[in-house]
Chain A
Amino acid sequence: MKGRMLMMLTMLGGLGLPAGMQAQEVRPRITLGGRGLVSLNTELARWRGNQETELVNDFSDTDLLLRLDRKLYGVNRGQVMGTVLGFTFPDADSRLGQIYFDQAHVFWWSQGWEFLLGRTRLENFVLEFPTLRDDDLVDYAYVLNAFTDAPATEYHLYGNVARMTFFQRQARWMERIQLSNLAVTDSAGNLMDRFGVQMASVEIAYRLPEPVRFTGRIRKAGIRYDVQRVDDAGDALLHAITAGLDLNLTLDPLANWELRLQGSYTPGLDAYRSATLQQRRDLSRVRSFAGVVSLSFLRSPYQVPRLFFALTGAYRVYPDQNASRAKAVAGLFYQVGAGMDVGLQYEYEQVSGGLQGLLGFEQSHSLKLLLAFEYETMFNDYFMDRETILNLEHGYAP
């Protein structure tokens, strides 16, 4: 069956109109973006009286992104379709190889909706937290993929999705439904099943689009529900509910204080009610509560962002296993030029109970000295994105 599906998809891929039937060339808008993210990490882990230190040159999360998109014809003039291809450099111990294709999708949007099909961020959280790398809080802020034992955090961050999002009231209200094909691996990280839908999600949120981010106290307030159907546990359903609140403590664009709060709960699988934590995937399958709180400050003298500070605390408890973990992250970043940062991030994590044996440490400290270069440039920029102030507040005309 899977073989037939692949063949059909291949045939469909070959059904593009022959050159002679194409209309005159309409060049796509081209967006090239990405970041170079390199840090010197000093890491120290303690367990059972032993102490282990490491000095790592870490360029993971360095990525490159290419987006191509065009406007549609006729009555669909207000609609846009495009594709994104991107790759990132995964962690050295992820067993994913030199690069990982984190983005390979096609999207289609209009004023009130967006459809996305393909590989992208799972967005299995309500809020993103201001840490150096995307996976710094993966065990606290994300709904974890219950189908992998692999060390690669990419399997929790990315997946193949069919996502429909609706927007109302100047895109301040958002509802999303998503079906996700997650990475299913064995403990060695080998992919076991490339097909099927492992997770379904719904989210509803009130949010301030980015161009108007300082115009209200509530930057985002949302709640989401994710359910994973775990076939190796008797097709049991693994539920998770996550709620988040992102507040502008000050509306001052020159000195903005922001508070993020997120809490999540998963009741776990019945089969894992009294299980001991033996594999990484058990962490997603047992009952747990998690909370993350972050206070950040952005100083933008003369409306030019220069200094960013964030203090984040995260906690997750596994009550049935009498285990818990907590993490504190403090980051200080200084923008030395447009999109160019130097920074310092300190992380402290403490685990207790059965988690110590699984993760191999009781406490860990990490100090990261960062150089980052972010960029985004557009070519043939001939239409306007949905979430611009003009499109949001003055009539939709992309």
Chain B
Amino acid sequence: MAGKTHREETARVSRRGFLQSAALGAAGMLLAGKLGAYEWKTFEWREKEEIPIPPKEDDAITYDREFNIEVVTTLHELLPGVRLHMLTFNGQVPGPEIRVKEGEWVKVNFTNKTELLHTIHWHGVDVYYEHDGVPYVTQKPVMPGQTFVYKFRAYPAGTRWYHCHFATPFHMAHAMHGAIIIESDDDPIKKTFQYSRDYTLVLETFDSFFLRDEFNRMLERMKQRIWLMKHGKLDGRTLAVFKNVQEFLKAVEEGWIPPYLPERNQSREGADLNPNFFAINGKSYPMTDPLLIRQGETIRVRLINAGELIHSLHLHGHQFWWVAVDGNPLPQPIKMNTLDIAPGQTKDIVIEGYNPGYWTFHDHITTRVTNNGIYPGGMLTLLVYEEMAERDGFKPMVSLDQ
């Protein structure tokens, strides 16, 4: 392997060789390196890989792609009868999927059309630090009415995502999240599996009561702060922002009451996120969109956990291949049928269509397969063989209270 990059190696892996490896089962997996069927050697390629320092934008750069993202308040319907006020990107849940090629220069015009403060953090993308979107750390928050232009070179390839990083537990838990897919012509997963369809599933959890209460509180507070800002009266202590720790300590000594103290805030909502709705791409079962496949077809499913909880996704009737984590290809695909995904993580799987039918694909922490505590619902969708309905006419029914 010495002297070869990871991509050069993976490009050599043939489809046939891969299937042989799969057929060998566990023993085959152990022997895979020796057999040469799957030679993704993590440590070797990481050492050899050229990892560029993320460049800063400059005037000479020509941007290959430009996107406009506005944050707005949207009354979103998760389910018939369940409408929640949400902070959204471009009015949709999740936000628009951004697909770019690795290495392309990307410009995102981010406009804040709410009365709250926001940023965008490009989660898993190696951006120049000033465009990382962490308020007060790498940039000032984007104020109501302001536009901030995020500029970065899309790197590295894989399933990434973006979310608001201001008041993160609240804004991210709203709907301020979306996928950024960085494609590469050298994608080893594409080369290996030759999948024909590519799905993105953004996994979401919503505590409808927390979102509502916190949203109202923030709006009331911010209406006042906007007036103070306009009149130059908004100071750091009102905003609870300090230049450094010493300033913060000085403020406390002088009688400023930190908002986390129980004498000022004992509502507990802030600490007690307790989701009661679970969704995939902005919809809860039975309103979730199915994954469509045909017999003999291979599909890729990109999972993004944009919520607050770990999910354990299980596919019925199939073994799938787990091929990437946090956007980065695994050293070796792993065959499984239940996959854990932590908050903030992305994981990619590949499903081969070999068992025609209607198959549920859901969080196996089954309390999340509920709508406000009623099973079934929530984070559940179907893998649907398109030809099934044509073959025997059977279609799954919709059950809402078991």
**A and B bind:** yes
A254 touches B238 (CB 8 A): yes
Cβ-closest chain A residue relative to B227: A251
Q: In the assembled complex, how far is the CB of residue B26 from the closest CB belonging to chain A, in whole angstroms?
A: 48
Q: Kindly list chain A residues whose C-beta atoms are within 8 Å of the C-beta of B221.
A: 303
In the complex, whether B219 has a CB less than 8 A from a CB of chain A is yes
A382 and B209 in contact, given A302-B256, A395-B75 (Cβ under 8 angstroms): yes
In the complex, whether B263 has a CB less than 8 A from a CB of chain A is yes
Give Cα distance in the complex from A302 to B257, angstroms: 9
B264 touches A388 (CB 8 A): no
In the complex, whether A360 has a CB less than 8 A from a CB of chain B is no
Q: In the assembled complex, how far is the CB of residue A340 from the closest CB belonging to chain B, in whole angstroms?
A: 10
Cβ-closest chain B residue relative to A382: B209
Q: Give the interface size bracket for A toward B.
A: 20 to 34
Give Cα distance in the complex from A253 to B83, angstroms: 32
Q: Kindly list chain B residues whose C-beta atoms are within 8 Å of the C-beta of A389.
A: 216, 219-220, 223
Residues 288-344 of A contacting B (Cβ, < 8 Å): 301-304, 337-338
Give Cα distance in the complex from A390 to B116, angstroms: 13
Residues 203-244 of B contacting A (Cβ, < 8 Å): 209, 212-213, 215-216, 219-221, 223-225, 227-228, 231, 233, 237-238, 240
B223 touches A214 (CB 8 A): yes
In the complex, whether B147 has a CB less than 8 A from a CB of chain A is no
Q: Give the interface size bracket for B toward A.
A: 20 to 34
A252 touches B209 (CB 8 A): no
Of the candidates B73, B224, B233, B263, the one whose C-beta lies within 8 Å of that of A214 is B224
Q: Kindly list chain B residues whose C-beta atoms are within 8 Å of the C-beta of A254.
A: 228, 233, 238
Q: In the assembled complex, how far is the CB of residue A209 from the closest CB belonging to chain B, in whole angstroms?
A: 10
Q: In the assembled complex, how far is the CB of residue A391 from the closest CB belonging to chain B, in whole angstroms?
A: 9
Give Cα distance in the complex from A395 to B221, angstroms: 19
Give Cα distance in the complex from A382 to B191, angstroms: 50
B233 touches A252 (CB 8 A): yes
A211 touches B257 (CB 8 A): no
**Dominant secondary structure at the A interface:** loop
In the complex, whether A384 has a CB less than 8 A from a CB of chain B is yes
Give Cα distance in the complex from A224 to B358, angstroms: 65
B216 touches A384 (CB 8 A): yes
Q: In the assembled complex, how far is the CB of residue B325 from the closest CB belonging to chain A, in whole angstroms?
A: 37
Give Cα distance in the complex from A303 to B256, angstroms: 11
The 9 closest A-B pairs by CB, nearest first: A253-B224, A395-B75, A389-B219, A397-B83, A390-B85, A211-B220, A388-B216, A394-B73, A302-B238
Chain B residues close to A by CB (< 8 Å)? 73, 75, 81, 83-85, 209, 212-213, 215-216, 219-221, 223-225, 227-228, 231, 233, 237-238, 240, 256-257, 263-264, 266
